[in-house]
């Protein structure tokens, strides 16, 4: 598919280049040709005007090379044109209508001329005619060479544009190819993650259906398993819906002043019983009245994700530290733990969807679908912030989030 798209992009690019070059080349040649002929005609008219001021044989012989004049009146005849050319000029133009401006004429078997054919008047009566001509073969040769140059440059440019277009099409398609690959991986991973809880639900409910003669209490274990997996599946679907809406920019983020200190303190209070149950020590360092502009619900969700991840990957007896600190322009929010840590090779991908560094390193029954940090990254970026991760294998992990501080002017 991408090969066809790449070929089509190259052909389209090449077509645009050819069209633009054809138009520009035609415009350049037309302008140059007009300028050349305008100069020739102006020079011819000027020469005729200068010569008619002193129409003598001597001045006729001093005309520029390639310029010919034939003057015929009732009293004299002057010409500096070679006899063969003179005869052809006379046969072609004498008794023909006079020209108001120079015209181009290809002499049979001879050069190409710009010819000016004018009447000669005396006392209001026409007494003769004047033929002025200039050989324009040198200028035509220059124009012909210009045509060759434009053709050569066009062919060479066409080949270069085809090669460059093919290369640039590949580069332009790389983000699309990566996005397509991520989409395929996303669908495959989502299908895999959904298949597991669905299989558990079906198998446990199947056991219940096989024991229709037993009471609910007798089948409570199977019902509880199905219910647990259904809750997990519901959370997975909700996370997928959140990411899908964020991709489509259809998930609004409310922008209003939020006291991040209160949100962090509330989340720490919610997780305190969880930490006690898992035998984890939770410490906090929350600066008072740290204000940011954003969505309180999303910031609460962000903190819950970070605290939940820290609890999942920290063994019993470990420590988790939540910190909120305000600077001049940025608010720093961090969650650090003394858990298993993340290998250096995995740290670049922890924010990818469904990516989990090592499920085996999480406490039993606490692993998720690998969407938490992806959602955390989206929430952070939706608040114009940055998220980063510092981790060392077997020494713990620290997730640091920086958000723009709400200035005093914005508070008021």
Which of 229, 369, 392, 396 has its CA nearest to residue 305?
369
Winning range, highest mean pLDDT, from 57-61, 239-243, 268-272: 268-272
Q: Which of 100-109, 291-300, 365-374 has the lowest mean pLDDT?
A: 365-374
| pLDDT reading at 39 higher than 80 | yes
How far apart CA 69 and CA 157 sit, in angstroms, is: 46
pLDDT band at 13 (very low <50, low <70, confident <90, very high): confident
Angle between helices 372-382 and 220-247 (to 10 degrees): 30
**Facing residues of 131 across strands?**
70, 117
pLDDT for position 245: 64
Q: What is the mean pLDDT of residues 25-39?
A: 93
| Residue 410 confidence (pLDDT) | 45
Whole-number pLDDT of residue 5: 79
Q: CB under 8 Å, gap of 24 or more: what pairs does 233-236 form?
A: 233/194, 233/197, 233/198, 233/201, 236/190, 236/193, 236/194, 236/197, 236/369, 236/371
Candidates 3.30.565.10, 3.30.420.40, 3.40.50.720, 1.20.1050.10; CATH matching 256-411:
3.30.565.10
* CATH 3.30.450 domain span(s) along the chain: 2-142
Say whether pLDDT at 409 is over 70. no
Please give the distance of CA 261 from its chain centroid, rounded to a whole number: 40
The 10s digit of each residue's pLDDT in 114-172 is 999 999 887 778 888 999 999 999 999 999 999 999 999 888 888 888 888 888 887 87
Position 20 pLDDT exceeds 70: yes
Whole-number mean pLDDT of the chain? 83
Q: For position 42, what pLDDT does the model report?
A: 92
Answer whether CATH 3.30.450 is correct for domain 2-142: yes
Give the 3-state secondary structure of 353-405.
Answer: CCCCCCHHHCCCCCCCCCCHHHHHHHHHHHCCCEEEEEEECCCEEEEEEEEEE
Q: Which residues of the chain form CATH 3.30.565.10?
A: 256-411
411 has pLDDT over 50: no
> Any idea which residue has 């190259």 for tokens?
10
Cα–Cα distance for residue pair 256/249, rounded to 1 Å: 19
pLDDT at residue 35 greater than cutoff 90? yes
Average pLDDT over residues 304-321: 88
What would the mean pLDDT of 342-365 be, rounded to a whole number? 65
Separation of CA 349 from chain center: 25
pTM higher than 0.75, yes or no? no
Query: What pLDDT, on a 0 to 100 scale, did the predictor assign at position 327?
Result: 87
The pLDDT value recorded for residue 133 is 93
Read off the pLDDT of each residue in 323-338 and give the average, rounded to a whole number. Answer: 90
Interval 48-64 mean pLDDT: 83
């Amino acid at each position: 598919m991408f090969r066809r798209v790449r070929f089509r992009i190259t052909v389209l690019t090449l077509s645009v280049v050819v069209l633009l070059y054809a138009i520009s080349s035609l415009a350049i040649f037309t302008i140059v040709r007009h300028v050349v002929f305008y100069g020739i005609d102006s020079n011819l008219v000027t020469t005729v005007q200068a010569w008619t001021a002193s129409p003598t044989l001597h001045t006729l012989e001093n005309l520029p090379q390639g310029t010919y004049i034939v003057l015929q009146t009732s009293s004299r005849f002057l010409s500096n044109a070679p006899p063969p050319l003179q005869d052809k000029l006379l046969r072609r133009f004498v008794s023909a209508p006079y020209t108001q401006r120079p015209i181009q004429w290809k002499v049979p078997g001879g050069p190409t001329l710009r010819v000016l054919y004018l009447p000669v008047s005396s006392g209001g009566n026409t007494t003769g005619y004047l033929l002025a001509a200039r050989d324009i073969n040198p200028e035509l040769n220059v124009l012909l060479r210009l045509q060759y140059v434009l053709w050569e440059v066009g062919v060479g440019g066409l080949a270069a544009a085809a090669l460059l277009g093919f290369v640039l099409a590949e580069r332009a398609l790389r983000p699309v190819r990566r996005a397509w690959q991520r989409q395929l991986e996303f669908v495959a991973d989502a299908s895999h993650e959904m298949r597991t809880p669905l299989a558990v639900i079906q198998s446990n409910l199947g056991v219940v259906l096989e024991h229709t003669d037993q009471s609910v209490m007798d089948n409570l274990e199977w019902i509880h398993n199905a219910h647990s997996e259904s809750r997990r599946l519901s959370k997975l679907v909700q996370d997928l819906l959140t990411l899908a809406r964020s991709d489509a920019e259809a998930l609004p983020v409310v922008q209003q002043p939020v006291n991040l200190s209160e949100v962090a303190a509330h989340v720490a209070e919610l997780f305190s019983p969880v930490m006690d149950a898992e035998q984890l020590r939770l410490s906090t360092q929350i600066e008072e009245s740290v204000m940011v502009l954003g969505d309180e619900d999303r910031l609460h969700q962000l903190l819950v994700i970070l605290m939940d991840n820290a609890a999942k990957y920290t063994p019993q007896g470990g420590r988790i530290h939540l910190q909120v600190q305000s600077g001049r322009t940025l608010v720093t929010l961090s969650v650090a733990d003394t858990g298993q840590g993340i290998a250096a090779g995995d740290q670049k991908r922890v924010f990818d969807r469904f990516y989990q560094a090592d499920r085996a390193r999480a406490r039993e029954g606490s692993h998720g679908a690998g969407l938490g940090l992806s959602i955390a990254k989206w929430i952070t970026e939706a608040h114009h912030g940055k998220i980063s991760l510092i981790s060392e294998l077997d020494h713990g992990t620290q997730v640091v989030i920086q958000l723009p501080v709400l200035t005093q002017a914005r508070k008021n």
